[in-house]
Amino acid sequence: MAEIALRNIVKRFGSLVAVNNLNLHIRDKEFVVLLGPSGCGKTTTLRCISGLETPDEGKILIDEEDVTNKRASKRDVAFVFQLYALYPHLTAYGNIAFPLVAQGLSKKRARQEVDRAAQILRIKHILNKKPRELSGGDMQRVALGRAIVRRPKVFLLDEPIGTLDAKFREEMRAELKKLHVDIGATTVYVTHDQVEAMSMGDRVVIMNLGVLQQVGTPHEVYNKPKNLFVANFIGSPGMNFISCKPLRGPGGKLTLRLPGVNTTIAIPDEIQRIIIDKKKEEKDLVLGVRPENVIFSRKEKSNHLQTRVYVVETMGSYNITDVRLGDETIKVRTVPSILPEVGETVYISFDPKRISIFDEETGDSVV
Amino acid sequence: MASVRLASLTKTFGEVTAVDNIDLEIDDREFFVLLGPTGAGKTTTLRLVAGLEKPDQGEVYLGNVSVNDLSPALRDVAFVFQYYTLYPHYTVRQNLEFPLRSKLRRLSESEIDAKVSEVARVLRIESLLGRETVNLSGGEMQRVAIGRAMVRTPKVFLMDEPLSNLDAKLREEMRTELARLHLDLGFTFFYVTHDQIEAMTMGDRIAVLNEGRILQIGTPDETYNSPENVFVAKFVGSPTINLFEASIETSTLVVGKKTLVCPISGTQQSSLEKYTKRELILGIRPEDIEVSKEKKEADSFKCTVYFTQSMGVEDILNLRINDLVLRAVVPPKLLARVGDTVYASINMKRSHLFDSETNMRL
């Protein structure tokens, strides 16, 4: 059992407010990812949970116990740092067993625990090796092993796989997620990589400049971003953004004028109503469309915008075609069999059911 | 401009053979990517081309000329470094002039000026010449970094993981920019990366390298859809291909203790007959597995959702059948949860078969 509650956490470093009034409830057995660019306050938040930092204001509760002023070693949390925090003179076995020996566990029990961890992490064959003989990935696994054997209430991980090769990162993402399913310990994970956040988190906590932006499941933050920051940060390739302004068209219908492209697009009745209800008719807005929601055609079609192919990127299981619309580049996701020529004239439209609209000034989501 | 040819190139460092008898031909104006994990020998290969390392054996040709005995400065190749190696408080013009002011070159001010103007025009950065590089966007910096290599009018551009330290967003933007720049400029690019997405999205052709050896050279389409061996199948593509030990039994492919029994199509049967009783490896890309909540196909497999990974646009389901774990890519609207029972059907027409002894494609 381990729930974590952060209540009105404020942490300052001099005049910098690193974490600004953060409220967060992390459920037992949940895998929560703190996501944001550098300087967003994610690592400071993690360090407050671990006890390595004490917040200036607010409370931290673990299982309803106030641990705000409790020392790190008394909190029953395991902190896994970025790679290489291993004792160089000890073998992999010695490194993993270290916290158990420190706790005074018998050699036999320690061996059992290390074996169990090694089994989960598939590192039995390297237990006799020293860190310098290990690959980066194996060192990471040993560092994880050292955290697992303690059977802590909470795992705290700070960008543990950031420095690995792309392929290996992918493997470790699956492995960490699997480990979480198998062990079921509450996990708080910090990263700036949205792919890691999306693919591992039960919920993702997005922060910017010390301020919480959105908390939600990967599906929620992807499909219903609360503001431009989240919409821009989540998804690869990212969401397309086009400046626009509501305009009364013929028959009184509300349309979106795209000044950069010198064209106007129709929007569904429901979205028209929301724009009016939220009093955004006079505002500068931003239209957001994910690459998979851009409809693509190589033949001229009614209600499609004429564009030109800038670059085509093949991904294997899909392609991304960049097209130029005025001064904007729009990314379009297509099946791999669609391979237009660079410079070719093509036609796009936006799936009206799957568009997002933001207030340009505040950045907040309108639709 | 020039083609590049590496003939039986070998380089050892003590006991380690970093580059092991490599043969490679890069066409003039090609965007060629050398892809492999850390320690594969990619950077060493690039340094051999640049002349920063001397090969133990073999030849490096630029155009049709062996350059083995030429010093780096005389090889007419340019390393494009990661963009942040620009001098931050220098203007774009000063950054571009820098390589031209080398004492070796003895260029006059008007020659330097002409060269910088020409490069700036081609790269469309004329309006930036007076700006300090710290004030540029990522895309602009990339252009300046390439410009700094271009002023030397090299025959070949060598790029060693130029995007690896950028954040994800910028990396994405830079990929597009580099691919487009290559099209516009028409130079020969020799690009090294460990990131298969960069290789797939930018390369005209890709050479997959592991432990100093080339395992396959092909277009992105060829390396993805017809991997010649298990390593390439695994290294190219994300999420990673499913690989299972399999054998042929009475016209079916059997995985595990009959955990999966996959029919072999009529046309494949005759060609696969000779592999009966051999140990094989079956490869199935995650997008070639269709998952549904109800049993739709007669030959679908009942499995349990072990864990899921969201990618936003799609979800990766890790499915369990007995002791096998199967990765499948599904649309998020399937809404599969951990522990759910689902049915997976495999598109065997798109499966890949390898000999488990040699790891080579059948």
Contact between residue B204 and residue B5 where contact means Cβ atoms under 8 Å apart:
no
Candidate from A167, A177, A194 with C-beta closest to B307: A177
Q: Do B235 and A167 touch (CB under 8 A)?
A: yes
- B231 lies in the same domain as B252: no
Is A75 an interface residue toward B (CB < 8 Å)? no
- A183 lies in the same domain as A280: no
Model confidence at A167: pLDDT above 90: no
- Which of B180, B185, B187, B228 lies closest to B206, judged by CA? B228
- Of B207, B235, B263, at which residue does a domain stop? B235
- A98 lies in the same domain as A198: yes
Candidate from B169, B175, B332 with C-beta closest to A219: B332
- B203 lies in the same domain as B335: no
- Rounded CA separation B51/B67 (Å): 8
Is A351 an interface residue toward B (CB < 8 Å)? no
Predicted confidence band of residue B82 (pLDDT cuts 50, 70, 90): low
Is A165 an interface residue toward B (CB < 8 Å)? yes
- Rounded CA separation B48/B54 (Å): 6
Contacts of B286 in chain A (CB under 8 A): 317
Contacts of B175 in chain A (CB under 8 A): 313
Candidate from B176, B202, B327 with C-beta closest to A322: B176
- A216 lies in the same domain as A321: no
Q: Do A290 and B194 touch (CB under 8 A)?
A: no
B335: left (phi over 0), alpha (psi -120 to 50) or beta: left
- A150 lies in the same domain as A184: yes
Model confidence at B83: pLDDT above 80: no
- Which of B358, B351, B352, B215 lies closest to B278, judged by CA? B358
Q: Is A237 helix (H, G, I), strand (E, B) or coil?
A: coil
CATH of the domain at A107: 3.40.50.300
- A270 lies in the same domain as A214: no
- B111 lies in the same domain as B171: yes
- Looking from the CA of A46 toward its CB, the CA atoms found within 13 Å total 26
Mutate to test the interface with A, among B202, B241, B307 (most CBs of A within 10 A): B307
Q: Do A314 and B221 touch (CB under 8 A)?
A: yes
- Of A204, A233, A262, at which residue does a domain stop? A233
Tokens of B22: 């490599």
Higher pLDDT, A83 or A73: A73
Contacts of A134 in chain B (CB under 8 A): none
- Rounded CA separation A42/A194 (Å): 13
- B351 lies in the same domain as B228: no
Q: Do B312 and A222 touch (CB under 8 A)?
A: yes
Beta-bridge partners for A312: A321
- B259 lies in the same domain as B301: yes
Structure confidence by residue, pLDDT tens digits, A240-296? 999 999 999 878 899 999 988 888 999 999 999 999 999 999 999 999 999 999 999
Q: Do A315 and B235 touch (CB under 8 A)?
A: no
CB pairs under 8 A between A and B: 113
Q: Is residue B315 part of a domain?
A: yes
What's residue B158's pLDDT?
Answer: 93
What's residue B53's pLDDT?
Answer: 93
- A136 lies in the same domain as A282: no
Q: Do B172 and A236 touch (CB under 8 A)?
A: yes
Give residues with Cβ within 8 angstroms of B211, minimum separation 6. Answer: B20, B39, B40, B41
Contact between residue A61 and residue A7 where contact means Cβ atoms under 8 Å apart:
yes
Tokens of B126: 């004329």
CATH of the domain at A329: 2.40.50.140
- Rounded CA separation A215/A211 (Å): 12
Predicted confidence band of residue A115 (pLDDT cuts 50, 70, 90): very high
- Rounded CA separation A358/A244 (Å): 10
- B247 lies in the same domain as B231: no
Contact between residue B360 and residue B229 where contact means Cβ atoms under 8 Å apart:
yes
The residue written with tokens 């997008």 in the block is B287
Pairing of strands B57-62, B4-13: antiparallel
Is A54 an interface residue toward B (CB < 8 Å)? no
- A290 lies in the same domain as A219: no
Tokens of B277: 């009783």
- Of B235, B266, B284, at which residue does a domain stop? B235
What's residue A332's pLDDT?
Answer: 97
Closest-CA distance of chain A to residue B227, Å: 12
Give the torsion through C-alpha atoms of A288, A292, A297, A302, to 10 deg: -40
Q: What is the pTM of this model?
A: 0.89
- A247 lies in the same domain as A226: no
Q: Is residue A52 part of a domain?
A: yes
- A184 lies in the same domain as A304: no
Structure confidence by residue, pLDDT tens digits, B89-147? 899 999 999 888 877 778 899 999 998 998 898 888 899 999 988 888 777 887 888 88
Q: Is residue A258 part of a domain?
A: yes
Model confidence at A164: pLDDT above 80: no
Q: Is B240 helix (H, G, I), strand (E, B) or coil?
A: coil
What's residue B164's pLDDT?
Answer: 76
Q: Is the dihedral of CA B197, B309, B315, B173 positive or negative?
A: negative
- Helix H or strand E encompassing B94: helix B92-97
Per the structure, the count of domains in chain B is 2
Backbone angles phi, psi at B78, to 5 degrees: -130, 130
Beta-bridge partners for B283: B243, B352
Per the structure, the count of domains in chain A is 2
Q: Mean pLDDT, to the nearest integer, of A152-156?
A: 90
Beta-bridge partners for A308: A324, A345
What's residue A175's pLDDT?
Answer: 85
Percent residues over pLDDT 70 in chain B? 98
Coarse DSSP helix, strand, coil percentages of chain A, rounded to the nearest 5 percent = 30, 35, 35
Model confidence at A83: pLDDT above 60: no
Q: Do A165 and B338 touch (CB under 8 A)?
A: no
- Rounded CA separation B286/B301 (Å): 15
Domain holding A331, by residue range, is 240-359
- Helix H or strand E encompassing A330: strand A328-334
Note the Cα B244 to chain centre separation in Å. Answer: 24
What's residue B207's pLDDT?
Answer: 98
Backbone angles phi, psi at B316, to 5 degrees: -100, 125
Is A315 an interface residue toward B (CB < 8 Å)? yes
The residue written with tokens 């379009």 in the block is A332
- A107 lies in the same domain as A253: no
**Closest-approach residue (CA) in chain A for B320:** A178
ipTM value for the complex: 0.87
Q: Is residue B360 part of a domain?
A: no
Model confidence at A3: pLDDT above 80: yes
- B202 lies in the same domain as B309: no
Predicted confidence band of residue B267 (pLDDT cuts 50, 70, 90): confident
- Of A209, A233, A257, at which residue does a domain stop? A233
- B149 lies in the same domain as B45: yes
Mean pLDDT, chain A, whole residue set: 92
CATH of the domain at B276: 2.40.50.140
Q: Is residue A365 part of a domain?
A: no
Is A342 an interface residue toward B (CB < 8 Å)? yes
- Rounded CA separation B16/B40 (Å): 11
Backbone angles phi, psi at A97, to 5 degrees: -75, -15
- Helix H or strand E encompassing A257: strand A254-258
One DSSP character per residue, A57-70 reads: EEEEEETTEE-TTS
Pairing of strands A240-248, B289-292: unpaired
- B85 lies in the same domain as B199: yes
Domain holding B337, by residue range, is 242-355
Mean pLDDT, chain B, whole residue set: 90
Closest-CA distance of chain A to residue B95, Å: 28
- B213 lies in the same domain as B91: yes
Contacts of B309 in chain A (CB under 8 A): 173-174, 177, 198-200
Higher pLDDT, A163 or B46: B46
What's residue A84's pLDDT?
Answer: 56
Contact between residue A316 and residue B224 where contact means Cβ atoms under 8 Å apart:
yes
What's residue A322's pLDDT?
Answer: 95
- Which of A280, A300, A296 lies closest to A367, judged by CA? A280
Contacts of A168 in chain B (CB under 8 A): 37
Is A329 an interface residue toward B (CB < 8 Å)? yes
- Of A233, A264, A285, at which residue does a domain stop? A233
Q: Is residue A209 part of a domain?
A: yes
- Of B213, B235, B257, at which residue does a domain stop? B235
Q: Is residue B127 part of a domain?
A: yes
Q: Is residue B332 part of a domain?
A: yes
- B226 lies in the same domain as B259: no
Q: Is residue B326 part of a domain?
A: yes
- Rounded CA separation B361/B233 (Å): 10
Mean pLDDT: which of A129-133, A165-169, B130-134, B216-220 is highest? B216-220
- A224 lies in the same domain as A133: yes
Q: Is residue B361 part of a domain?
A: no
What's residue A281's pLDDT?
Answer: 93
What's residue B1's pLDDT?
Answer: 63
Candidate from B180, B197, B238 with C-beta closest to A311: B180
Q: Do B309 and A170 touch (CB under 8 A)?
A: no
- Rounded CA separation B27/B2 (Å): 8
Give residues with Cβ within 8 angstroms of B102, minimum separation 6. Answer: none
Q: Is residue A354 part of a domain?
A: yes
- A190 lies in the same domain as A307: no
Q: Is residue B97 part of a domain?
A: yes
Q: Do B307 and A181 touch (CB under 8 A)?
A: yes
Contacts of B313 in chain A (CB under 8 A): 222, 235, 290-292, 333
- Rounded CA separation A280/A366 (Å): 8
Beta-bridge partners for B218: B206
Q: Which of A3-12, A180-189, A298-307, B163-172 has the lowest mean pLDDT?
A: B163-172
Candidate from B37, B200, B318 with C-beta closest to A316: B200
- B26 lies in the same domain as B126: yes
Q: Do B172 and A238 touch (CB under 8 A)?
A: yes
Q: Is residue B362 part of a domain?
A: no
- Rounded CA separation A269/A249 (Å): 13
Q: Do B240 and A167 touch (CB under 8 A)?
A: yes
Q: Do B201 and A313 touch (CB under 8 A)?
A: yes
Candidate from B169, B287, B318 with C-beta closest to A174: B318
Mutate to test the interface with A, among B142, B167, B169, B219 (most CBs of A within 10 A): B169
Range list of H helices, A212-264:
218-223, 228-233
In chain B, count H helices and then E strands.
Answer: 9, 20
Contacts of A198 in chain B (CB under 8 A): 309-312
**Closest-approach residue (CA) in chain A for B337:** A202
Give residues with Cβ within 8 angstroms of A75, minimum separation 6. Answer: A50, A51, A62, A67, A154
